[in-house]
Structure 1
Amino acid sequence: MEGCSKKISSKGKKEKDLYHIIHKVPCGDSPYVRAKHAQLVEKDPEAAIVLFWKAINAGDKVDSALKDMAVVMKQLDRTEEAVEAIKSFRSLCSKQAQESLDNVLIDLYKKCGKIEEQIDLLKRKLRLIYQGEAFNGRPTKTARSHGKKFQVSVKQETSRLLGNLGWAYMQKSNFMMAEVVYQKAQMIDPDANKALNLGLCLIKQARYDEAYAVIQDVLQGGLPGSNDCRSRKRAEELIIELKSRLPSLDSSENIVGLDDDFVKGLEQLMNEWGPLRSKRLPIFEEISSFRDQLAC
């Protein structure tokens, strides 16, 4: 009987462990565990938010509770409330959690149209990378997407932040600044999505021949992500827009370029980049001349 009891107990434990694995919820009965259960198992976001608040007030996994609560609030279009929650309670979180909270804030700012705040935060994060304070001084960090963990390098993170900054400038119709930012991002870690955004910046500035060359590079599969069906569809749509604006792409008489002084200044900026010197964060030697523009 004792052996049978142990088998039943062991079976019950395995089933319980399997339940937590399937639903991706932690074990226990704390406010945070109950909040995750409400969010992921019961699919009750309002109840989850209440329990996340309780977890924060009880000091129960505050780092995760605040971030998860903000994400759920965003899903319920309570974006402004989520922003205020992070600003008010991030001081209770660990130093290691600040970077991920910044990333959540950037998404929240983007959703509620706070472009200036988004730009300021992106610049601050870029400055932290330049100063060697991002990733706690390490060259990589572990990130998570759709339940899977992967490594992100400082180089990839810098390019991602520049891509977000370029998009924010586009929302302000500052296409010249967006173009410069996207150019830098592409030099660090090129991909099809940023190339297409760069192409759109050039179209908005009536620099159709340059835009055509950038978009064609995507259609010809010359960049990571070029084979993604969404990227190809967007590239084809941009080519159609180009043709509607300029009947003959081979004709230069209708092409309006950027002023020569700016083009020369940009070329000089590229030529002045020196050899890599920093052993800690070499990627910022590549864009050091650009940091003053970020501060503007």
Structure 2
Amino acid sequence: MTRQRKESEAPYHHLVEKDPEAAIALFWKAINAGDRVDSALKDMAVVMKQQDRAEEAIEAVKAFRDRCSKQAQESLDNVLIDLYKKCGKIEEQIDLLKQKLKMIHQGEAFNRKATKTARSHGRKFQVTVRQETSRILGNLGWAYMQRGNYVAAEAVYHKAQSFDPDANKACNLCLCLIKQTRYAEAKSVIDDILQGKLLGSDEPKSRNRAQELLRELETCQSSSMFSEPSGLSLEDAFVEGLDQLTSQWTPYRSRRLPIFEEISPFMDQLAC
């Protein structure tokens, strides 16, 4: 970023802290004037979210994203996902996350490269295809959990862990298993966290949550009168479909993978 650009953006950042509503008005002015629309639209949506105007922010992003560059579209998708979370729009969130997964597996999101540069809290870092796939699957699993669809969430978290396992997703997977009264499997997941086998297991937040899940598990076990389900489930079929996708996945090609057509019906059924 040039010195001139930094100086031109400084008043916006100062105004956001001092008078968010005035900052939103300036962002609107910049968008209408075609002045750095990429950053203006994204920043305006973020400020609107902070001002409890998330619904309005969603409409703004949808209406004006066609004025933004191709490079800004993925970032705007991430903004939309956060806005959908804020508004409790689970269906829209799920649909967009599926679309992002589809773009990755078609080689579009990474421009057929093995890594891409990501940005978080002002710093840049490299992200691999597997890491990004796991992150999006984790978000998709969380969205299913918000709907109480623990079968779908479990299937997605299992696949996310196969790409890039960590303690946070393991905790969510454990909760999905507890909700399905599959206590032995849940205990195994908790043990992996408490024994430090997963990335992030040593973080206090992860360990505390694992301990909470262990207490919840013990309470459920002592009061449960139900046996664990058995047999082939919709989740099994969904996981099998994801496994086929993984085996056929070649992110460096631009061809459309037919396996996604096979997975879509499972995703739609699981979302019901």
TM-score (norm: length of structure 1): 0.80
Q: Which has the larger radius of gyration?
A: 1
DSSP 3-state at the match of 1:141: strand
Distance 2:34 2:197 in 1: 50
Query: Are the counterparts in 2 of residues 140 and 152 from structure 1 also a CA contact under 8 Å?
Result: yes
Equivalent residue for 2:126?
151
Q: List per-residue Cα deviations over 1:60-98 (Å, max 9, x = no partner).
A: 110001001111111111111111110111010011100
User: How has the CA–CA distance of structure 1 residues 186 and 121 changed in structure 2, closer, same or farther, with 3 Å as cutoff?
Assistant: same
Which consecutive unaligned segments of at least 5 residues does structure 2 have?
Answer: none
Equivalent residue for 1:243?
218
Letter aligned with residue 6 of structure 2? P
User: How has the CA–CA distance of structure 1 residues 133 and 264 changed in structure 2, closer, same or farther, with 3 Å as cutoff?
Assistant: closer
Which consecutive unaligned segments of at least 5 residues does structure 1 have?
Answer: 1-16
Query: Are the counterparts in 1 of residues 159 and 242 from structure 2 also a CA contact under 8 Å?
Result: no
RMSD: 2.8
Moved more, 272-281 or 126-135: 272-281
* Equivalent residue in structure 2 for 1:71, among 46, 67, 70: 46
User: How has the CA–CA distance of structure 1 residues 76 and 272 changed in structure 2, closer, same or farther, with 3 Å as cutoff?
Assistant: closer
* Equivalent residue in structure 1 for 2:227, among 244, 256, 260: 256
Query: Are the counterparts in 2 of residues 169 and 178 from structure 1 also a CA contact under 8 Å?
Result: yes
Equivalent residue for 2:7?
27
What pairs up with 1:1-296 in 2 under 5 angstroms?
Answer: 26-28=6-8, 33-39=10-16, 42-247=17-222, 256-262=227-233, 265=237, 278=250, 280=252, 291-292=263-264, 293-294=266-267, 296=269
Query: Are the counterparts in 2 of residues 123 and 295 from structure 1 also a CA contact under 8 Å?
Result: no
DSSP 3-state at the match of 1:27: helix
Equivalent residue for 1:8?
none
Q: List per-residue Cα deviations over 1:18-76 (Å, max 9, x = no partner).
A: xx9xxxx8123xxx55323312xx53222211111111111111000100111111111
Query: Are the counterparts in 1 of residues 102 and 260 from structure 2 also a CA contact under 8 Å?
Result: no
Shift of 1:192: 0.4
Shift of 1:275: 5.5
* Identity across matched positions, percent: 60
Q: List per-residue Cα deviations over 1:216-247 (Å, max 9, x = no partner).
A: 11111110011111110000000000111113
Query: Are the counterparts in 1 of residues 48 and 57 from structure 2 also a CA contact under 8 Å?
Result: yes
Query: Are the counterparts in 2 of residues 196 and 235 from structure 1 also a CA contact under 8 Å?
Result: yes
Distance 2:262 2:76 in 1: 26
Distance 2:226 2:195 in 1: 24
Aligned length: 262
Distance 2:240 2:78 in 1: 33
